[in-house]
Amino acid sequence: MKKLIVVAVFCFPLLSSALAKPGPGKNTVSSVLKSAIVYRSGAELYHTARITLTQGNNDFIIEGISNQIEVNSIRIASDNNGLAVMSVEFGKNFLVKEDASPELRRLKDSIESVEKDLELVQSGITTNKELQAVLTANKSIAGTQTGVSVAELTKMMDYYRSKSTELQKERLLLTDKEAKLVKAISRLRSQVEEAEKKNMTTAGQLAIQAFSPMSGTYTLNVSYITPFAGWNPSYDLRVDNINKPVNIGFKAKVSQSTGVDWKNVKLVLATSMPNMNATAPELQSWLLSFENMQRRLLSNSDIKTALQGKVAGAALQEVVVVRGNTSLNDNEEPLYVVNGAIVTKEQFNQINKNAIKSVEVLKDSKATALYGSRAVNGVIMVVLKEGLEDYVAVNDNELNVTYEIDLPYDVPTNGKEQVVALKERTAPATYKYFAAPVKDKDAYLLGCIADWGSLQLISGEANIIFEGTYVGKTMIDPGSTSDTLNLTLGKDHRVVITREKLKDLSSVKFLGSKKMQTLTYEITVKNNKKEDIQLQVKDLFPIPTDKEIEVELLEFSGADVDKERSFLTWNMTLKPGETKKLRMSYSVRYPKDKVLPL
């Protein structure tokens, strides 16, 4: 039986020497991250650690903890009731990764190469200075010589001038190159410094003082909440054609920067936030409702027990049904059947229990009726999980929804989003096209889903795939109070819509002090698809905001008129290749000395 230990927790931002360098008798053990409950913002991590303790007081350190935690959330449970944890100190340890990153190696190689170039340039500058010194010395010696003709002296001076100019140009080039190389090395060293910071990890540690009544090895279960993790929902909306339901793929984008790489970790995603409330609870009314229960899978030993001495029809577990009434000899092996195929015992034992969807045990005539004499010792029938959704258990609780993923995941501590597929649902939908040509000439396909509350959707971004083609993104907003969820599935250019002003039926007249404008528009819609479509077209006419402005609707081609909002709505069915024309006309009267944007 595990014992929950309430301890005093202290947090030190800077690691003390006692924590950084365990003294004599202070053990250091690594913890293993087993599972994580990831909230929309924050996560609760669960570690295990094995520690050997002596009788009496013990000081030890547990490593591999997140470097950012809510210290008040630390909980430690022991598998031994006698162990008493007296205090816990949380601190950080700065570690350098043994293997440098490719970026760091590349930068260091670049520095080495540029430094070699710099050495060559500096060697060239030194040689240049030495040559210049020799040239100057020879010039001085030549100047002291007597008996030199003017022609020889002129020739000698020309040589010194030419050679000196050549050396000066060379030195200028070398000096400029030297400055550039020094600058490049400085820049590379700055980049190396940044890369080394990335190559350094900050690991969290727990320094624990505990009393053990006897020497022995203990398993400690450590849990805590960290704010540096979370997940966001996203969706894939797939519609093969408008005669089929919407396929909704629900995914989670999980990210974490806790300082601990999550390796082979079981994930539970929760739609709520972590509960750090320390206020005493206040009782609320108990509303009883059904919830989805996670099935517990049987181990091989459980199944063997199921075959021994059970009566016909007895249900051992929710996933196991036993039929028959005789016991088995321990030396007699049953027949193993996986997904309808007979397998060996060795193959059966290799099945990961997390991959089992259901198990059924047959005995006696029930077994031989299906598999003949081979099944005289009974049959173990296993059905394996088929898709990813079989590995995700959805629990709809009173205040939140959790998704328990029965597959281990790796999530590195780099803050990057990692997509986790959760479930897929098909939702019956009615489809219609919508167009408002006064604003946009395109027709948009809408999927209308009734009773959408049972889909347990969360606000998030959705990718739209229509007839096998990605058409864009939309937002799912389940916060709407409407009974129907309307999903925009993208544009369809095969539904052609035009809106044209009819100049012959539009006019401007002056009536005394008034000016009357008559505006007439014709909307043409055509269905170029191969099937019938439902189309809704909306347009509008102006609403006067001044008593001197009068608006009269003259023609609307049978549209539904919303006088309060001045909307016109046409609902129609268009056959393949069919074209329809809609006409709307209205007049506006206002003082002729005024201007209206019509």
Nearest to 575 by CA among 534, 543, 517: 534
Is residue 333 over pLDDT 80? Answer: yes
Output the 3-class SS for 81-109.
CCCEEEEEEEEEEEEECCCCCHHHHHHHH
Is residue 60 over pLDDT 70? Answer: yes
**Which residue type does 107 have?**
L
pLDDT of residue 225: 94
- Mean pLDDT of all residues in the chain? 80
pLDDT band of residue 202 (cuts 50, 70, 90) is low
Interval 334-343: pLDDT, tens = 888 888 788 8
- The DSSP annotation for 227-264 comes to EEEEEEEEEEEEES-TTSPEEEEEEEEEEE-SSS-EEE
- Range 152-156, long-range pairs (CB < 8 A, 24+ positions): none
Contacts of 491 (CB under 8 A, 6+ apart): 442, 443, 444, 445, 471, 472
pLDDT of residue 293: 38
**CB neighbour burial string for 23-44, b if at least 16 within 10 angstroms, e if fewer:** eeeeeeeebebebbbbbbebbb
pLDDT of residue 300: 46
Is residue 362 over pLDDT 60? Answer: yes
Which has more pLDDT, 199 or 302?
199
Q: What is the distance between the alpha carbons of residues 85 and 2, in angstroms, rounded to a whole number?
A: 13
- The DSSP annotation for 433-471 comes to EEE-TTT-SS-EEEEEEESGGGG---SEEEEEEETTEEE
pLDDT of residue 200: 58
Q: What is the distance between the alpha carbons of residues 246 and 252, in angstroms, rounded to a whole number?
A: 19
Q: What is the distance between the alpha carbons of residues 198 and 192, in angstroms, rounded to a whole number?
A: 10
Q: State how far Cα 24 lies from the chain centre.
A: 44
CA angle 563, 518, 584 (to 5 degrees): 50
Is residue 524 over pLDDT 90? Answer: yes
Nearest to 499 by CA among 516, 519, 517: 519
Q: How far is CA 143 from CA 42, 134, 149, in A?
A: 86, 14, 12
Q: What is the distance between the alpha carbons of residues 222 and 9, in angstroms, rounded to a whole number?
A: 13
8 A C-beta contact, residue 81 and residue 3: yes
8 A C-beta contact, residue 518 and residue 554: yes
Q: What is the distance between the alpha carbons of residues 101 and 198, in angstroms, rounded to a whole number?
A: 9
Length of the chain as a residue count: 598
SS3 label, residue 7? coil
Q: Which residue(s) pair with 128 in the sheet?
A: none
Residue 95 has phi, psi (to 5 degrees) of -120, 145
8 A C-beta contact, residue 268 and residue 217: no
- Range 347-354, long-range pairs (CB < 8 A, 24+ positions): 348/300, 348/380, 348/382, 349/300, 351/382, 351/384, 353/297, 353/298, 353/299, 354/297, 354/391, 354/406, 354/407
Question: Residues of the chain with pLDDT > 90: what percent?
Answer: 33
pLDDT of residue 517: 93
8 A C-beta contact, residue 63 and residue 205: yes
pLDDT of residue 14: 37
Q: What is the mean pLDDT of residues 423-447?
A: 91
Q: How far is CA 76 from CA 7, 87, 92, 199, 222, in A?
A: 8, 11, 19, 31, 5
pLDDT of residue 95: 56
Q: What is the distance between the alpha carbons of residues 49 and 248, in angstroms, rounded to a whole number?
A: 41
SS3 label, residue 181? helix
Which has more pLDDT, 351 or 276?
351
Flag the least confident range among 97-106, 283-292, 306-315, 405-414.
306-315
pLDDT of residue 387: 60
Flag the least confident range among 78-92, 241-255, 315-329, 423-437.
315-329
Contacts of 196 (CB under 8 A, 6+ apart): 96, 104
Pairing of strands 579-591, 514-527: antiparallel
**Which residue type does 365 have?**
S
The residue behind tokens 């170029």 is 528
pLDDT of residue 346: 83
Interval 14-46: pLDDT, tens = 333 334 444 444 688 999 999 999 999 999 999
Predicted structure pTM score: 0.57
pLDDT of residue 561: 94
8 A C-beta contact, residue 392 and residue 321: no
Flag the least confident range among 137-151, 158-172, 412-426.
137-151
pLDDT of residue 279: 59
